[in-house]
Amino acid sequence: MTASRSGLQRALGGLAAMLLLTACQSNGATPGAGSPVPTEPTLPTATSTAPEPPSPTGSVYVALGDSFVAAPLVPKTNMTHGCLRSDHNYPQLAVRELAGYELVDVSCSGASSAEMTQPQVVGGVEHPPQFDALSDDVDVVTLGIGANDFSLFSFLVYRCLNLAGTDRAGSPCRDSYDQDGANRLLDQVSEIQGRVESVVAEVRERAPGARVVLVTYPKFLPTWGVCPDLVPLAKGDYAFVREVTLALVEAQKAGAEAGGAEVLDMYAASEGHDICSDQPWVNGIDTDPSRALAFHPFPVEQRAVAGLLLELLAG
């Protein structure tokens, strides 16, 4: 078995088991097969509906976003309704220190900007649009979104790992997206800025009195160096993945600021805590059932976000 095949199967095993393939389907095809042009995922069919969160009675904090908010497998994770939301994700940790606040956490693994305004189906369960949690009564909103738009995260994980064995020393993933002097994946990332801006603007419209904070993704890879046991990319694709993830974070920040939100820059805050580091905040390719899904945040990252969020809100 080749290293790339082994790495891909390890990633698939963790991700598929946790239902994140809901966000990884591209018009019915597995990422990495056929054309590398990212497209929006095909929506699955629901067999049941998730229960609505209870109505809060005090000050209200609403958490919106994807798996980097939900924190799948950070103990204890609710496995019942498919969103894989942890009771120790950063919204849960932060609200415990916000006197008089009640949390409405509607974050859901696999969510893109589209699921802010349309239902999301995961594990056969239909979840209402996340924006349904917003109202004039909301005081604080945090948002983490962008990596699932155009199935971006899925393409980075699946396609780049799948191609690594074809040219272990080169950059086969970057090469597969390069065309006519441009890179199609980076072109898609540039469009995410506008989506984030639109999402933030609508949050402010639906919750006009709320303080809105966009929480960026953390740093996945070190500025220099590789760690193939944890992230089995082709050596030359480390620079490509760094470029894409930094571009994504910059798109998040620019979109949030243009839409009128504050920004909590976890990319900067996680310097020295990338996957390859001695004290990582994000898991590598092997899912740890007691701590984190593959390529998702460890409990320590969620604690760090919560602490920095509380500092920001206190300012």
pTM summary value: 0.86
User: Is residue 81 in a domain?
Assistant: yes
Q: pLDDT tens digits, the chain, 315 residues: what are they?
A: 444 445 555 554 555 444 443 433 333 333 333 434 444 444 445 455 655 555 555 799 999 999 999 999 999 999 988 999 999 999 999 999 999 999 999 999 999 999 999 999 998 899 999 999 999 999 999 999 999 999 999 988 889 999 999 999 999 999 999 988 899 999 999 999 999 999 999 999 999 999 999 999 999 999 999 999 999 999 999 999 999 999 999 999 999 999 999 999 999 999 999 999 999 999 999 999 999 999 999 999 999 999 999 999 998
User: Is residue 129 in a domain?
Assistant: yes
In the chain, the number of structural domains is 1
User: Is residue 39 in a domain?
Assistant: no
Q: Which one of the listed residues 81, 127, 273, 296 is annotated catalytic?
A: 296
Q: How many CB atoms lie within 10 A of CB 271?
A: 12
Query: Tens digit of pLDDT for each residue in 81-134?
Result: 899 999 999 999 999 999 999 999 999 999 999 999 999 999 889 999 999 999
User: Is residue 283 in a domain?
Assistant: yes
Query: Tens digit of pLDDT for each residue in 280-306?
Result: 999 999 999 999 999 999 999 999 999
User: Is residue 17 in a domain?
Assistant: yes
User: Is residue 269 in a domain?
Assistant: yes
The CA distance from 312 to 315, in Å, is: 5
For every residue of 133-192, DSSP letters joined together read: G--TTEEEEEEE--TTGGGHHHIIIIIHHHHHTT-TTS-HHHHHHEETTEEHHHHHHHHH
User: Is residue 49 in a domain?
Assistant: no
What is the domain-level CATH number for residue 111?
3.40.50.1110
Q: Is 198 tagged catalytic?
A: no
User: Is residue 48 in a domain?
Assistant: no
Q: Is 81 tagged catalytic?
A: no
Domain that holds residue 270: 3-31+58-314
According to the model, what pLDDT value does residue 58 have?
78
Q: Which one of the listed residues 67, 107, 154, 176 is annotated catalytic?
A: 67
